[in-house]
Amino acid sequence: MEATKAMLARIEAVEPQIGSFITVTHGQALADAEAADRRIASGEMTFLTGIPLAIKDIFLTEGIRTTCGSRMLDNFIPPYSATSWEKLHSHGAVLLGKLNQDEFAMGSSNESSAFGVCRNPWDRTCIPGGSSGGSAAAVAARQATATLGTDTGGSIRQPASHCGCVGLKPTYGRVSRYGVIAYASSLDQVGPLTRDVTDSAIMLGALAGHDPKDSTSVATPVPDYCAALTGTVKGLRIGLPKEYFIAGLDPDVQKTMDAAIETYRRLDAEFVDISLPHTDYAVATYYLIATAEASSNLARYDGVRFGHRAEDAAGLLDMYTRSRSQGFGAEVKRRIMLGTYALSSGYYDAYYVKAQKVRTLIMQDFMRAFGDVDVILTPVAPTPAFKIGEKSDDPLQMYLSDIFTIPVNLAGTCAMSVPAGFSAAGLPIGLQLIGKPFDEETILRAAHAFEQATEWHTRKAVI
């Protein structure tokens, strides 16, 4: 209860400067905290009992408005909760609120949210990253002990990198997607954003596992992720893909990567130069597959059963058109149109089918590389956080900010972002560790060892 009250006070104090929340669930938080206190008193607690958390507004919460950052769902109160949140809640975690995000998780800067700007706690003129911008900003601004995000093309890792926190995207199928508003179903995955790697391991342990309500969730046993945090990476083979260390990489990012590699060398890890030859095609492939799936996933927002419905419609078609025109923002409309086009008769083979084939090649790139190495180390993003408004008129530039994270989603494997340094301007820079499918343990171990050897994660944004 103390922790929850302190966190609610902190949210109230700094929220005007950050904007990480869409909804603060005051009453729910106090009720959860009270229940947690009772549980602690009875001795039935776990690591997460009473821990104040906040979750991206993409997770359905029964009886609590869930907007997905969209005007379309401004009035949507779900009748059920996402499996992932239910799991955390069943451990006695406390819900502080629902976090800001890009509309329907489409964006890399949180600027497509219909619920106001979210600012980077390290420099409030900069974006926090996206789409889980509020999830990263809330951790960095110490408005929550940990948060939940979703990652379709980098939406956990990129904001974690920009806000200096630990962001983990588990393997596709590791965590249930049930009750998570779908953007691109074959790419979406739920994961935690935390202050350090241990918290990440605890959160993943609670989230992972098969869900009978999600056919794509996998029954692979859930290991004890905390036990994987041995502190050693001696002999660990780390791959450096040449396609990710390209000329033109931001010098601060390059410097940070060099230093990180040096740190791992000191810890007796081995480095192997590898190639992921189809990397160049990843962004194009992603923007065909993700938008195709999105165009279909977002068809249910038609104004018939829930969400925004235009009031002045003259007939069915007009109701559809107006409701969707009014409810969706520009980026969402752009992606729906791109995806509809990619699936259209006459274009399907040239776009969607071809993209699927390239996706297979990208997957094979990773599988081949993992024959030689245990983890792959890359930057998370080509630059530190950029200024608010800097790229919002240039979708292509915006899309390229996910160039290093997108291939992981296409391959379906796991990866995380770990704080690895700061730019000259004082903005956090993360390093990305990519693991084999369902081998979150190894990237957690590598991240933890790095964290032990550095102090980046202990720095706090001054607010």
Which residues bind to other proteins, rule: CB under 8 A?
Answer: 59-60, 66, 68, 73, 76, 78-80, 82, 177-182, 184-186, 212-216, 292-293, 295-296, 298-302, 304-306, 316, 320, 340, 343-345, 348, 352
CB of 311 to other proteins, least distance (A): 14
Nearest to 144 by CA among 55, 81, 19: 55
H or E element that contains 160: helix 157-163
Q: How far is CA 297 from CA 40, 192, 216, 292, 339, in A?
A: 41, 24, 16, 9, 10
428 half-sphere exposure, CB direction, 13 A CA radius: 36
Q: Which two tokens stand for residue 367?
A: 């599988």
From the candidates 112, 113, 135, 155, which is the catalytic residue?
155
Q: Which lies closer to other proteins via its Cβ, residue 6 or residue 361?
A: 361
Q: Which lies closer to other proteins via its Cβ, residue 214 or residue 270?
A: 214
Q: Which lies closer to other proteins via its Cβ, residue 60 or residue 156?
A: 60
- Is the previous residue joined to 42 through a cis bond, with omega within 30 degrees of 0? no
CB of 314 to other proteins, least distance (A): 14
Q: Which lies closer to other proteins via its Cβ, residue 295 or residue 413?
A: 295
User: From CA 372, how far away is CA 272, in angstroms rounded?
Assistant: 8
CB of 412 to other proteins, least distance (A): 11
Q: What is the largest CA-CA distance in the chain?
A: 70
Place of tokens 């780390």: 238
Q: Which lies closer to other proteins via its Cβ, residue 82 or residue 447?
A: 82
CB of 186 to other proteins, least distance (A): 4
User: From CA 431, how far away is CA 230, in angstroms rounded?
Assistant: 20
H or E element that contains 122: none
User: What does DSSP say about strands 414-422 and 375-379: parallel, antiparallel, or unpaired?
Assistant: unpaired
Note if 56 is an active site residue.
Answer: yes
Nearest to 172 by CA among 185, 161, 181: 185
From the candidates 81, 108, 112, 131, which is the catalytic residue?
131
Q: Which two tokens stand for residue 13?
A: 């104090």
Please name the residues in contact with 371: beta carbons below 8 A apart, sequence gap of 6 or more.
Answer: none
CB of 343 to other proteins, least distance (A): 4
| Three-state secondary structure call for residue 58 | coil
Phi first, then psi: what are they for 51, rounded to 5°? Answer: -80, 125
Nearest to 153 by CA among 426, 429, 402: 402
| Three-state secondary structure call for residue 422 | strand
Q: Which lies closer to other proteins via its Cβ, residue 78 or residue 192?
A: 78
Q: Which lies closer to other proteins via its Cβ, residue 127 or residue 184?
A: 184
CB of 174 to other proteins, least distance (A): 15
CB of 293 to other proteins, least distance (A): 6
The burial class, CB within 10 Å (0-12 / 13-18 / 19+), for 45 is middle
Q: Which lies closer to other proteins via its Cβ, residue 61 or residue 161?
A: 61
CB of 42 to other proteins, least distance (A): 33
Q: Which lies closer to other proteins via its Cβ, residue 79 or residue 371?
A: 79
Q: How far is CA 62 from CA 8, 66, 259, 444, 447, in A?
A: 21, 9, 46, 32, 35
CB of 59 to other proteins, least distance (A): 8
Note if 401 is an active site residue.
Answer: no
> Which strand ranges, in their side-by-side order, compose the sheet holding 146-151?
21-24, 94-99, 52-56, 146-151, 189-194, 166-169, 414-422, 428-435, 375-379, 237-241, 270-274
What single-letter amino acid sits at 436?
Answer: K
Residues that are catalytic: 56, 131, 155
